[in-house]
Chain A
Amino acid sequence: MSSEAISHGTQAHAMHDDHHDHHHHETFITKYVFSQDHKMIAKQFLVTGIIWAIIGGLFSVIFRLQLGYPESTFPWLEDFLGHWAQGGKLKPEFYYALVTMHGTILVFFVLTAGLSGTFANFLIPLQIGARDMASPLLNMLSYWFFFIASIIMFASLFVQTGPASGGWTIYPPLSALGEASSGSKIGMDLWLVSMAMFIVSSLLGGLNYITTILNMRTKGMSMTRMPLTMWGLFFTAVLGVLSFPVLLSGAILLLFDRNLGTSFYLSDIVVAGKILPNEGGSAILFQHLFWFLGHPEVYIILLPAMSMASEILSVNSRKPIFGYMAMVGSIFAITILAFLVWAHHMFVTGLNPFLGSFFVLLTLLIAVPSAIKVFNWLTTLWRGNIRFTPGMMFAIGFVSLFISGGLTGIFLGNSSLDIHLHDTYFVVAHFHIVMGVASFFGMFAGVYHWFPKMFGRYLNNTLAYIHFWVTIIGAYLIFWPMHYEGFAGMPRRYYDYSNWESFKMFGGLNEFISFVAMIVFAVQLLFVFNFFYSIFKGRKVKSQNPWGSNTLEWTTPINPGHGNWPGEIPEVHRWPYDYSKDGKDFIPQDVPVGEDESKH
């Protein structure tokens, strides 16, 4: 049995190889649109993600206008948003729509699909030494389901009653009852349908990433010789494959409640003086289902950024990553714990305090693997021969942001403190720094670092440094003050704070935050310009391995074709972190171990 199956396995491999050797003529459609090449699919995810990021970012600028200048009117807004900004003043309903869509777009469409979709697709086959994903067809479908989800979500922006507006967490009853608010109508249905498509996309992608990493590694690429990027992306996919289905269930039940008259989430509701017939359901049930996805989701966003930062920090410090196995262990621990802490988002829902104490414990335990990772990054940098490439700058920025935001998590993880801090700007500050901005930094680091591999050209460095400095200073200026607002009890998701005596004093601060937000947004446009300009006009890459990196993607030609390596796939003989070893600056993974070489 076993020998039969083994020869069968080798046969399948051989078949796979020669399938890629015939290069049939490619048309524009098969090359750029319905491409099955993982590198092209990665670029499709990246470009779609960038478009979404611009839209989502623009939304935040518009609602920040309202928060920063609650007394002013902006006539040009009316030209742009029509009746939603009559007389140049944003309507409260649309303010909520903007906040909701901002969160949805950035969490799911940019930092999940845009980040994992881009880098898992691009890097997995290249770094483990495979010709393509396990199933290029499903991989292509993964992008197209994401595309359909994008179209539906985009369309929901234009329906008459506006897009979903119950927050990115879509809690019932706002999301379950059509009559609850204008954003609870068709916009909400479109949100749910779009997310269902999105979940299918993420499932197809995730299954592919997992099986490719397990099954398709080139000879010699044992699991512990994989770059840390691979470990991060692997566990990201595991998290996605096991947590998104729970959101799917939750969303299906929600669709039933909305359209079939069931009451899974509704009980004893009175709307506009009318008692609704719904009874027996539980709105808290939805929160459990949502956060069972929601918390793993934040790590789905973070792990790719973490692992790319690890790789880039090591390459540009010219030092092996410190504590490789500890890094792998931490990623694994984070993955397990990520499934066990969801109720820390629900401390004030009436959760049994005894149960809550378990969630406090497990939540605070996450600080341990997080701290190990931070320690290892800093130690990798320590006395390194650091090259401050733009990718490196963003990777260092990532570490800084992760520390800043992780520390505030420890405040929130204590249920007694969270009673005060929950639903205030403190939470907004926490998750924007640790997840939003930090993951963006990981993503930027990845783009700057792998752009030469993606397009055979470099991004412009001057623009890159401007991008970096304005963004990191801007991010701290925007989000740091929010901690103080949160301590002072300023709630999140309010349309106008100027009516409260106690929050009046923050008027100036809010204006300042909004002002900086606009500058930071403008600088992102500079990056977008740099990105598209450099694809066509950037300085050409001349050497195969411009960063002097050990990983396999730099053994491919400067512009690799479909199938990645023109000849044999290289065999791997060592781990990817042999930097500054035995007097050599770096020793790529495909170099055989010398006779007298020292052990790492």
Chain B
Amino acid sequence: MATTTIQAETKWWNGGRSPFNASYGKVMMWYFLMSDAFTFGAFLISYGTIRFSVNNWADPNHVFNAFPFAGHANLPLAFVSLMTFILIFSSVTMVLAVHEGHHMNKKGVEKYMLLTIIGGIAFLGCQAWEWTHLIAGHHDVLVNGQIEHWGTTVTKNPWGSEVMHNGTMVATPGPIAFGGYFFGITGFHGFHVLSGVVINIVMYIKTKLGHFDQRGHYEMIEKAGLYWHFVDLVWVFVFLCFYLI
């Protein structure tokens, strides 16, 4: 045992051990995340090419200006900032859960996993509200000389450029790709958050049942943590692409 340890410390790549000093599960998780990054990358690059090929893309300050229970107050990007804050905060609690895991502190892991799960669910709740608000919205749009009331869906975009109609400014239909990409990509991200929440719940239950104490380590929490941070990181890019630019 002692000799293998010494040899292992000097020859990282010589076989008989993991060159990264990481279990196969963690290595696998890293490669999976790389792969998933390519999936999101493809989505976001597609979005970018289409978005910059049309010239009247919807103004995010205009589209995302609502806040629950705030009536018609104009609060650009306030709600999405809250969502982002929630998600980032849940990443912090995740870090703490992993940290408690290193110290084999079951109670601590439980506490922070629970907070992470709540954060994830809160984020999904916010997203559900935002989607509903967009889809169910009523916006006056000038279509073929008639005023229609449109929400934002994958086939309808009421955020086009404005024209004068009977003495008032009204919007015309905007590029249809807006809704497709917005719902497609935030939906795909939301699906990742949902999977993450499910994974975290499973981890929470396994912690509660003492599985990791029996196993002698909390590595599963670390792997769930990697995934969770990744989902967070992706959100930062989604946020950037849809809300800030």
Contact = CB atoms under 8 A, between A and B. Distances in A.
Interface of A: 2-3, 5-10, 12-13, 128-129, 134-135, 138, 203, 206-208, 210-212, 214-223, 225, 241-246, 248-250, 252-253, 256, 260-264, 277-282, 285, 289, 292, 571-572
Given A6-B5, A242-B35, A222 B180 contact: no
B184 interface: yes
B20 interface: yes
Contacts of A244: 35
A10 B17 contact: yes
B15 A221 contact: yes
B18 A285 contact: no
Given A245-B36, A262-B155, A263-B176, A280 B50 contact: yes
A285 B177 CA distance: 13
A12 B53 CA distance: 53
A223 B19 CA distance: 10
Interface in B11-25: 11, 13-25
A246 B40 CA distance: 8
B129 interface: no
20 contacts: A6-B9, A6-B17, A8-B217, A9-B21, A10-B1, A10-B5, A211-B31, A215-B22, A221-B16, A223-B13, A225-B15, A248-B42, A252-B188, A253-B46, A253-B184, A262-B154, A262-B176, A263-B176, A277-B155, A572-B15
B28 A208 contact: yes
Interface in B136-193: 154-155, 175-177, 179-181, 184, 188
A263 B177 contact: yes
Contacts of A128: 15
B27 A211 contact: yes
A261 B31 contact: no
A470 to B, nearest CB: 41
Interface of B: 1, 4-5, 8-9, 11, 13-25, 27-28, 31-32, 34-36, 38-43, 46, 49-50, 53-54, 154-155, 175-177, 179-181, 184, 188, 217
Contacts of A208: 28
A7 B177 contact: no
Contacts of A214: 18-20, 27
B190 to A, nearest CB: 14
A13 to B, nearest CB: 7
A246 B41 CA distance: 8
Contact of A13 (B17, B20, B21, B41): B17
Classify the secondary structure of A's interface with B.
helix
A261 B21 contact: no
A8 B217 CA distance: 9
Contacts of B175: 279-280
Interface centre among A216, A218, A262, A277 (most CB of B within 10 A): A262
A221 to B, nearest CB: 4
A6 B10 CA distance: 12
Nearest to A224: B13
Contacts of A221: 14-16
User: Which of A12, A211, A217, A222 has the largest number of chain B CB atoms within 10 A?
Assistant: A211
A211 B24 contact: yes
Nearest to B24: A134
Contacts of B31: 206-207, 210-211, 241
Contacts of B54: 280
A2 B8 CA distance: 11
Nearest to A247: B42
Contacts of B16: 13, 217-221, 571
Contact of A3 (B5, B18, B20, B181): B5
Contact of B38 (A2, A246, A261, A280): A246
A262 B24 contact: no
5 A-B pairs with least C-beta separation = A219-B16, A262-B180, A249-B42, A221-B15, A217-B15
A7 B5 contact: yes
Contacts of B17: 6, 9-10, 13
Contact of A289 (B5, B14, B42): B42
A278 B180 CA distance: 12
A264 B35 contact: no
Contact of A212 (B8, B24, B35): B24
Given A7-B5, A241-B31, A571-B16, 18 more contacts: A10-B1, A12-B23, A134-B27, A135-B24, A203-B35, A207-B32, A210-B27, A215-B23, A220-B16, A222-B11, A241-B34, A246-B38, A246-B41, A253-B180, A256-B180, A260-B155, A264-B46, A285-B46
Nearest to B11: A222
Nearest to B27: A211
Contact of B15 (A3, A219, A261): A219
Given A249-B39, A262-B154, A134 B49 contact: no
Contact of B21 (A5, A129, A277): A5
A10 B18 contact: no
A8 B180 CA distance: 48
B225 to A, nearest CB: 16
A104 B166 CA distance: 56
Given A3-B5, A134-B24, A249-B43, A215 B18 contact: yes
B35 A241 contact: yes
Contacts of B181: 264
B35 A245 contact: yes
A242 B4 contact: no
Contacts of B39: 245-246, 248-249
A215 B8 CA distance: 13
A6 B41 CA distance: 35
A215 B50 contact: no
B92 to A, nearest CB: 22
Contacts of A571: 16
Given A8-B217, A214-B18, A282-B53, A292 B42 contact: yes
Contacts of A2: 9, 21
B184 A6 contact: no
Contact of A6 (B21, B38, B155, B180): B21
